[in-house]
């Protein structure tokens, strides 16, 4: 058996997915320098060669992202049809749930198919602790009867140079607004995002302000990874055209962790819908306000505190709502939060008044969670 881990990751085009992979490898380098990391794409099925590499390793690690989904296997993780082909422990690291309403009550009866249940049973009985990225995910798994898990937070929370470092009062000169994805399906969410952007642009009229796309605006780059989602690309590009019409700068940081890191390092305040923009900013103790458009965002508040505002009041997940949505393209399953923009501006003003206390609170919580992440990594085979 070789001193290596095979890690299954999900980075295609979204900058946040690459950040998870990047930060996880940095953690292994620091805390498990005795192990080499071999990185496979999670969505690719194991051929004989890859299966041999897996079975020669110390463990197969399923890495990050909202992978705890109804069809986690085989949609997210192809691996093999027969899990018994994998002879080494399978361990999860920083996995999160995916729920649009994202309320705590949604974690009690979280839907999973039989193949995903089989995978969780194999992970739970591996003899090693696995990790999840938030308490909502932890509860979803616990209510299935699986208790061999720790809440470590996402690997992306941990910038090793920032752990236990002093938090500096921000001098806000550059503001970035990260664009969500719910606008592609919801007219009310698109209207709300545009309202947010225009008001923030007005609020920071004397600052450097721009909108950030985490998915590519380049047709070739986007379709090479999301070949069935050309409509999504078109909607992103139309949003970019709207920004141009209103003379609002924007930037595409897709494709790598380095793009995300190098960009947000220059930002003093992040506002917006991208969870990993929020995670990164908090990881280096910078000011960030996350707006939720699903349960991934809502769950971060229990992990590190900070500022997470509801972008929507509810989402229609009923059977009737699904049918209507299929029949009528204009049917909006989101009920957006009409008070959001005012709440957002109030939050910015309040943080300035109390010397950005919540940045310090988030720093403390990340540092505390890092101790759990260390415990998880150090007990790996």
- How far, in Å, are 8, 76, 156, 360 from residue 168 at the CA level? 36, 40, 21, 9
Distance, CA of 102 to CA of 79 (rounded, Å): 28
Q: Are strands 249-252 and 208-213 parallel, antiparallel or unpaired?
A: parallel
Counting the structural domains of the chain, the total is: 2
Distance from C-alpha of 89 to C-alpha of 121, rounded to nearest angstrom: 12
Whether 377 and 233 have beta carbons less than 8 Å apart is answered as no
166 domain residue, yes or no: no
Residue 273 resides in a domain:
yes
In a domain, 165, yes or no: no
* Shared-domain flag, residues 228 and 349: yes
- Do 354 and 371 lie in a common domain? no
> Looking at residue 327, what is its pLDDT?
72
Edge to edge, what strands does the sheet with 249-252 contain?
Answer: 249-252, 208-213, 174-178, 269-272, 287-292, 307-310
Q: Which token pair is 118?
A: 């089989």
pLDDT one digit per residue (tens) for the chain, 381 residues: 899 999 999 877 678 889 999 999 999 999 999 999 999 999 999 999 999 999 999 999 999 889 999 999 999 999 999 999 999 999 999 999 999 999 999 999 999 999 999 999 999 999 999 999 999 999 999 999 999 999 999 999 999 999 999 999 999 999 999 999 999 889 999 999 999 999 999 999 999 999 999 988 876 666 556 555 567 778 889 999 999 999 999 999 988 899 999 999 999 999 999 999 999 999 999 999 999 999 999 999 999 999 999 999 998 888 777 777 777 777 889 999 999 999 999 999 999 999 999 999 999 999 999 999 999 999 999
Task: Kindly state whether residues 218 and 104 are assigned to the same domain.
Answer: no
Residue 164 lies in a domain: no
Q: Is 350 in the same domain as 333?
A: yes
Are residues 331 and 212 both part of a single domain? yes
Distance between CA atoms of residues 127 and 141, nearest Å: 17
Largest CA distance in the chain: 61
Residue 74: asked if its preceding bond is cis (omega within 30°), the reply is yes
CATH of the domain at 134: 3.40.50
- Provide the pLDDT for residue 196: 96
Same domain, 147 and 29: yes
Inside any domain, residue 169: no
- Considering the domain architecture, whether residues 178 and 301 belong to the same structural domain is answered as yes
Residue 162 forms part of a structural domain: no
Q: Which residue range forms the structural domain that includes residue 12?
A: 4-156+367-378
Residue 186, in any domain of the structure: yes
pLDDT at 81: 93
Whether 90 and 125 map to the same domain: the answer is yes
pLDDT of residue 111: 96
- Nearest CA to 284 out of 134, 165, 373 is that of 165
Cα distances (angstroms) measured from residue 258 to each of 22, 122, 240, 311, 364: 9, 34, 23, 28, 25
Task: Please tell me whether residues 183 and 304 are part of one structural domain.
Answer: yes
Q: What is the pTM of this model?
A: 0.94
Same domain flag for 119 and 230: no
Q: Are residues 353 and 272 in the same domain?
A: yes
Q: Is residue 268 situated within a structural domain?
A: yes
196 and 316 assigned to the same domain:
yes
């Amino acid at each position: 058996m070789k001193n290596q881990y095979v890690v299954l990751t999900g980075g295609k085009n979204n900058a946040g997915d690459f950040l998870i992979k990047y930060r996880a490898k940095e953690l292994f380098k620091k805390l498990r320098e005795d192990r080499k990391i071999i990185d496979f794409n999670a969505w690719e099925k194991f051929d004989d060669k890859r299966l041999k590499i897996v079975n020669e390793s110390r463990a197969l690690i399923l890495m990050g992202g909202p992978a705890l989904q109804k069809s986690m296997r085989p949609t997210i993780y192809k691996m093999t049809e027969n899990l018994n082909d994998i002879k080494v422990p399978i361990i999860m690291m920083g996995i999160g749930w995916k729920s649009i309403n994202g309320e705590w009550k949604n974690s009690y009866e979280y839907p999973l198919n039989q193949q995903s249940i089989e995978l969780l049973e194999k992970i739970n009985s591996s003899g090693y602790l696995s990790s999840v990225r938030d308490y909502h995910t932890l509860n979803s798994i616990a209510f299935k009867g699986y208790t061999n898990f720790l809440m470590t937070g996402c690997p992306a929370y941990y910038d090793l140079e920032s752990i236990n470092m002093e938090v500096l009062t921000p001098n806000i000169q550059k503001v970035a607004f990260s664009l969500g994805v719910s606008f592609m399906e919801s007219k009310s969410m698109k209207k709300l995002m545009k309202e947010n952007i225009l008001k923030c642009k007005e609020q920071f009229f004397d600052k450097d302000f721009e909108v950030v796309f985490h998915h590519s605006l380049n047709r070739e780059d986007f379709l090479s990874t999301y070949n069935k989602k050309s409509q999504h690309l078109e909607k992103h590009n139309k949003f970019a055209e709207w920004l141009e019409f209103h003379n609002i700068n924007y930037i595409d940081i897709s494709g790598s962790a380095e793009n995300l890191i190098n960009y947000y390092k220059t930002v003093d305040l992040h506002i917006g819908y991208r969870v990993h923009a929020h995670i990164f900013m908090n990881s280096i103790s910078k000011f960030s306000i996350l707006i939720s458009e699903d349960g991934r965002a809502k769950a971060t508040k229990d992990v590190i505190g900070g500022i997470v505002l509801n972008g929507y009041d509810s989402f229609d997940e009923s059977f009737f709502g699904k049918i209507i949505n299929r029949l009528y393209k204009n049917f909006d399953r989101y009920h957006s939060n009409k008070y959001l923009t005012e709440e957002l501006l109030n939050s910015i003003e309040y943080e300035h008044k109390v010397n950005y206390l919540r940045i310090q609170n988030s720093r403390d919580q990340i540092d505390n969670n890092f101790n759990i992440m260390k415990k998880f990594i150090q007990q790996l085979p």
